[in-house]
Chains A and B, each alone.
Chain A
Amino acid sequence: MKRFATIVTLAALVLLAVFLLYPLALVLDASIRIDGTGGLTLGNYAAIVKSRYYLGSIGNSLLAAALATVFACAIGIPLAFCLARIDVPGRALLLTLASLPLVLPSFVSAYALVLLFGHAGVVTTALRGIGIPIGSIYGLPGIVIVFTLTLYPYVVMPVLAGFQAVDASMEEAARNLGGSRPYVIRTVLLPIVMPAILAGGLLVFIEALENFGVPAVLAEDRPFLAIDIFKLFAGESDANPAAAGALSVLLIACTALTLLVQRHYLGKRRFSTSARSAPAKLPLTPGLRLAATTVSWGIVIVSLLPFAAVLMVSVLRFRGPVLTWELGLSNYATLLSGSYRPLLNTLTLASIAAVATMLIGAPIGYVVARHRSRLSGLLDFIGMVPFAVSGTILAIGLIIAFNSGPLVLTGGWLILVIAYVVRKLPFAIRSSSAIVHQLDPSLEEASINLGVSPTTTFATLTVPLMASGLVGGLVLVWITAASELSATIVLYASGWVTTTVVMYHAIEGTGAGLAAAAAAVLILVTAIPLLLINRRLNRQQTTVI
């Protein structure tokens, strides 16, 4: 048993060292080298600090992430409260729908905003037609709106669990002792829920800071960190890997620091609904209840509307960049006329990545949950590192690492799969160890006691027992890999263009109809498996965050 754990741990550590730490070290290394000569320097950082443009870029990214965090809390906390304490009609469905924005591709939501409110957007044109000009959604406003609408579930999930974890008797006791309701909320409810809010909010901050797709669609020419890193590394004209490295290191420093703070608050409280009696639903007047219902459903519907809009627009004809009101499948025809390859690539790569991630993640999650040791603690820690590394940066590291030398991977499909696996590994580890925690350890001991070796026991008993939970994880990894943009856009090679890449280029160019069709395909590809497993998913998501 020990040996099995040690083998898994060591194998996982080697894997993470080669495909995560080594590439990151190379990014760090690039940031302290003089471009060309290779001498050591801090000049790249100095150049950033001196550059108005890059300071602006850092400032914009931090500001967008901070605003998104505030707004996500502003809508996430009331929604969580309504879900926990108010008898909202359709609560179960609402809960499922509220988790959807997390797994649907956020840059599709951003693109919907462009379709509706962009320069040639449906709403913009219509309003302009009747003489009402609207402000530009490009840059900060649009980006913050999309971040808010796609990331708020990170706040809802833990805060909802927090509200439900308040034992009814605790609140009753406080009221019984003469506290007024606001007083009870301040003294009993908030202290319990506060760590949940911080944990969720900081996760929003990290995700917003790292995100590439949303600013890629909405930033236009305003500087944003994730975009600048990409352009500095992969840009045709102004490539500067050293500067890209320095910006990457700064970005990782921000996200890593935030992640540490986030883990700290998460560690303070396990957001499990361990309350013996969940707190009672609040007695509300019909008017207040209607208001709560409107707000809850309103938030969720508004956050999903962009996706619905994309689906609708995808079946309308475009004339050039201009949308007409004629129904037709011409966009899809354009999308598929070129080649089926991108769609096929997306499905293939996502499938390989999902299976590989779970195959690697499940044993690690098992060992982390079952065999606590210094080594597995280290693994648990390193396994969380991908959370703090954006896809673009990981991809850059992978390119530097595997462009030459003993292992050349660039230009093939494997490097894409590796990027997906590494990025989704923390999720696979978390969800597997959550499942293992629910398995009675004496089942495995019984099997070993009956003469089956620990390794075989894991494969023939533990894995089947974990299977139903692992399927949920597999589907979630599949979905996120299928809609991955930030690493893909750096790593793809000509034979391995994916649907997200097609969409990215269509947005960059003039293929509005093509982009809409690609976006719609992405929505369908992600939403269908999601709905198939949505019951399992609800459980998974709370365990993973």
Chain B
Amino acid sequence: MTSIRIKNLTRTFDTVRAVDDISLDIKHGELFTLLGPSGCGKTTLLRMIAGFADVESGSISFDARRIDGLPAHRRDIGMVFQNYAIFPNHTVAGNVAYGLKARNVPAAEIKSRVDKALERVRLAGYGPRSPHQLSGGQLQRVAIARALVIEPAVLLFDEPLSNLDAQLRTEMRIEIRQLQQALGLTAIYVTHDQEEALAISDRIAVLRQGKVEQVDTPERIYRTPQTAFVAEFLGSTNMVPGIAGAFDGRNTHVAAAGTEFAVRGEIAPPGAPVLLSLRPEALRLGDGSDGPRIQAHLTLREFLGPMQRLHATLPDGTQIRISALGAQAFDVLPGASLALAYDPAQIKAFPSP
């Protein structure tokens, strides 16, 4: 059980601030995800914690103990690499035993702990095999077993599933989550896949250009993004620019896309440019409920099985996407006009950049 405190961490490569004054508090037993687009500094931050990238300024502590001065091999961290990094010259068991041998664990104990770790990742009996006989998913499990078996203070994952196919990815992320919870390990998980982050995290930090945009639970990150960047990065939201109008005591009226939206709260002074985030699932096909509506024209319908995605144009031609249930009775043809109902509380407004 370890908590991690990161304070004012910075790292610059030439002119790029890969990690720019980041501070985070990670609770013990938490699965904490660093989420952000490629190049935002996730790997650099993770490698600073692991000891593979130098800390320029700032500090990293496990519980009350500062670790940023320790060499990488003495940090007691288990790391799962993007490309597995399975030693090709060792068997599966040899790979898992590697860290135990480094810790001078007695041979008999190594054997039982390796077997147990392989069992944990559902690879019992694979010990004597050579890594090249294993599939990608199995290699990933070996990598996880190898990191778990040393009972590290902290577990780090750098995009561990990005080399697997979609099906395996969804299975493996559940396995990782269950293992982490069962062992009660503190884990930092790096990914650029927002769905993966939402699915398994206790909390998420969204990173952008080396800075933290928002730290929150998956629900709050998704529902109440603090910045336009977070809103846009999580879920394919519709971003519509507009001009704030009058506040009627409950909603602000915003002129956007050739129509008018009501947004809960006083979001901006009248005349201020704003960005509206309309989640695809926040717009409902006219369902008889009252509340504000907007008019749109259907241009394309994608049937995706459990749901369907509608592509529509707003009065000024702005393209938007709407999610609707797949089973919803639907006989409107492209070109037809739609009345879309929404809840003003579900529309987020951000100051225009």
Interface, chain A (partner B; CB < 8 A): 1-3, 440, 442-443, 445-454, 457, 461, 464-465
Contact (A450, B102) CB under 8 Å given A1-B72, A445-B52: yes
Interface presence of B37 (CB below 8 A): no
Residue of B nearest to A442 (CB): B85
Q: Which B residues between 131 and 155 are near A, CB-CB below 8 angstroms?
A: 143, 146-147, 150
Q: How far is the CB of A337 from chain B (nearest CB, A)?
A: 48
Which residue of B73, B87, B150 is within 8 Å of A448 (Cβ)? B73
- Residue B6 at the chain A interface, CB threshold 8 Å: no
Q: Is the CB of B73 within 8 A of A446?
A: no
Q: What 8 A-B pairs have minimum CB-CB distances, sorted nearest first?
A: A450-B99, A451-B102, A446-B85, A442-B85, A449-B79, A452-B102, A442-B81, A448-B73
A446 with B72: CB separation less than 8 A: no
Give Cα A451 to B87, complex, Å: 15
- Residues 41-89 of B at the A interface (beta carbon under 8 Å): 50-52, 54, 71-74, 76-79, 81-83, 85, 87-89
CA A450 to CA B81, docked complex, whole Å: 12
Measured between beta carbons, the chain A residues less than 8 angstroms from B147 are 449-450
Complex CA distance for A449 and B143, rounded to whole angstroms: 12
Which has the most chain A C-beta neighbours within 10 Å: B72, B88, B103?
B72
In Å, the complex CA distance between A1 and B53 comes to 11
Measured in the bound complex, the distance between the Cα atoms of B345 and A365 in whole Å is 62
A537 to B85, CA, bound (A): 28
One of B52, B87, B150 near A443 (C-beta < 8 A): B87
Q: Are B87 and A446 in contact (CB under 8 A)?
A: yes
Contacts of A464 in B (CB 8 A): 89
A377 to chain B, nearest CB (A): 16
Is A447's CB under 8 angstroms from B50's CB? no
Residues of B297-314 whose CB lies within 8 A of A: none
Contact between A449 and B83 (Cβ–Cβ < 8 Å)? Answer: no
Residues of A within 8 A of B54 (CB): 2
Size bin of chain B's contact surface: 20 to 34
Which residue on chain A has the smallest CB distance to residue B156? A449
A446 to B47, CA, bound (A): 12
B103 touching A446, Cβ below 8 Å: no
A442 contacts B87, C-beta separation under 8 Å: no
Contact A449 B78 (CB under 8 A): yes
**Contact between A451 and B85, CB atoms less than 8 A apart:** no
A445 cross-chain contacts in B, Cβ below 8 A: 50, 52, 72, 79, 81, 85
Q: Does B98 contact A (CB under 8 A)?
A: yes
Q: Is the interface of A mostly helix, strand, loop or mixed?
A: helix
CA distance A449 to B71 in the complex (A): 10
Q: List 17 A-B contacts (CB under 8 A).
A: A2-B54, A440-B85, A442-B83, A443-B87, A445-B50, A445-B52, A445-B79, A447-B98, A448-B73, A449-B79, A449-B147, A450-B98, A450-B102, A450-B147, A451-B102, A453-B73, A454-B72
Report the separation of the CA atoms of residues A442 and B84 in the bound assembly, to the nearest whole angstrom: 8
Q: Write the B84-121 contact mask toward A (1 if CB under 8 angstroms, else 0).
A: 01011100000000110011000000000000000000
User: CB distance B150 to A450 under 8 Å?
Assistant: yes
Residues of A within 8 A of B143 (CB): 446
Q: Which of B78, B83, B98, B146 has the most CB of A within 10 A?
A: B98
Instruction: Return B287 CB to nearest CB of chain A, in Å.
Output: 52
Q: Which residues of B contact A453 (CB under 8 A)?
A: 71, 73
Across the interface, A451 reaches (CB within 8 A) one of B52, B74, B82, namely B74
A185 to B: closest C-beta gap in Å: 41
> Are B87 and A461 touching (Cβ within 8 A)?
yes
With A and B bound together, what is the CA distance between A450 and B50 in angstroms? 11
Question: Are B73 and A451 within 8 A (Cβ)?
Answer: yes
Report the minimum CB–CB distance from A321 to chain B (whole Å): 57
Q: Report the bound CA distance from A461 to B101 in whole Å.
A: 13
Q: Which of B74, B82, B89 contacts A465 (CB 8 A)?
A: B89
Which B residues lie within 8 Å of A443 (CB)?
A: 85, 87
Whole-angstrom CA separation of A32 from B265 in the bound complex:
89
State the CA gap A324–B189 with chains docked (Å): 81
CA distance A451 to B73 in the complex (A): 4
Q: How far is the CA of A457 from the CA of B52 in the complex (A)?
A: 14
The answer for the CA separation of A3 and B146 in the assembled complex, in Å, is 26
**Highest count of chain A CB atoms <10 Å: which of B50, B78, B81, B150:** B81
Given pairs A445-B79, A448-B51, A449-B73, 12 additional interface contacts (CB within 8 A): A442-B85, A445-B50, A446-B79, A446-B81, A446-B85, A448-B52, A449-B72, A449-B77, A450-B147, A452-B98, A453-B73, A461-B87
Across the interface, which residues of A come within 8 angstroms of B99, CB to CB?
450-452
Residues of A within 8 A of B83 (CB): 440, 442
Residue ID in chain A nearest B78 by CB atoms: A449
Chain B residue at minimum C-beta to C-beta distance from A446: B85
Q: Are B89 and A449 in contact (CB under 8 A)?
A: no
Q: Which residues of A contact B76 (CB under 8 A)?
A: 451
**A445 CB to nearest B CB, Å:** 6
Give the residue name and chain of the A residue nearest to B76 (CB). A451
A448-B47 Cα distance, complex, nearest whole Å: 12
Residue among A451, A453, A464 with the highest chain B CB neighbour number at 10 A: A451
Task: Enumerate chain B residues within 8 angstroms of A440, measured Cβ to Cβ.
Answer: 83, 85
Q: How far is the CB of B96 from chain A (nearest CB, A)?
A: 10
Question: Chain A contacts of B150 at CB under 8 A?
Answer: 450-451
Tell whether A454 pairs with B85 under 8 Å between CB atoms, given A449-B50, A449-B79: no
B88 to A, closest residue via Cβ: A465
A452 adjacent to B73 (CB under 8 Å): yes
- Chain A residues in 8 Å Cβ range of B72: 1, 445, 448-449, 454
Chain B residue contacts of A2, Cβ below 8 A = 54
Q: Which A residue's beta carbon lies closest to that of B74?
A: A451
A3 vs B76: C-alpha distance when bound (angstroms): 20
How far apart sit A1 and B78, CA to CA, in the bound complex (Å)?
A: 18
Docked pose: A166 CA to B281 CA in angstroms: 52
**A442 to B143 CA separation, bound complex (whole angstroms):** 12
A184 to B318, CA, bound (A): 50
Residue of A at shortest CB range from B52?
Answer: A445
| Residues in A neighbouring B89, C-beta threshold 8 A | 461, 464-465
Chain B residues, Cβ within 8 Å of A452: 73, 98-99, 102
Which chain A residue shows the least CB distance to B143? A446
A1 to B77, CA, bound (A): 16
Please give, as numbers and ranges, the residues of chain A lying within 8 Å of B71 by CB-CB distance: 1, 3, 453-454
Q: How far is the CA of A452 from the CA of B77 in the complex (A)?
A: 12
| Complex alpha-carbon distance, A66 and B88, angstroms | 48
Give the docked Cα–Cα distance between A453 and B99 (Å): 11
